[in-house]
Amino acid sequence: MRRRVITLVLEPGALLSENELAAELGVSRTPIRDALMLLSQEGLVQIFPRVGTFVSRVDPQHVADAQFLREAVELASLGDVPAAPDADAISELRENLAQQRVVDGDLEQFFRLDELFHQGLMRLAGHEGTWPSVVAAKGHLDRARRLGLNEVGTVHVFIEQHTEVLDALLRGGAAEAGPLLRAHLRTVFDDIERVRARSPELFAINSGIPKRKSVAVWH
**Please, what are the domains in the chain?**
2-57 (1.10.10.10), 60-197 (1.20.120.530)
pLDDT at 206: 58
Q: Write down the pLDDT at residue 104.
A: 76
* Per-residue pLDDT at 133: 93
Q: What is the predicted pLDDT for the residue at 140?
A: 93
Q: How far apart are CA 169 and CA 50, in angstroms?
A: 54
Task: Give the pLDDT score at 70.
Answer: 96
pLDDT at 152: 81
Segments of the chain scoring below 70 in pLDDT = 206-219
Give every CB contact of residue 146 below 8 A, 6+ residues apart in sequence.
6, 7, 8, 107, 111
Whether 212 contacts 16, CB under 8 Å: no
| pTM for the predicted model, two decimal places | 0.87
Judge contact between 113 and 100, C-beta under 8 A.
Answer: yes
Task: Please tell me the predicted confidence (pLDDT) of residue 205.
Answer: 78
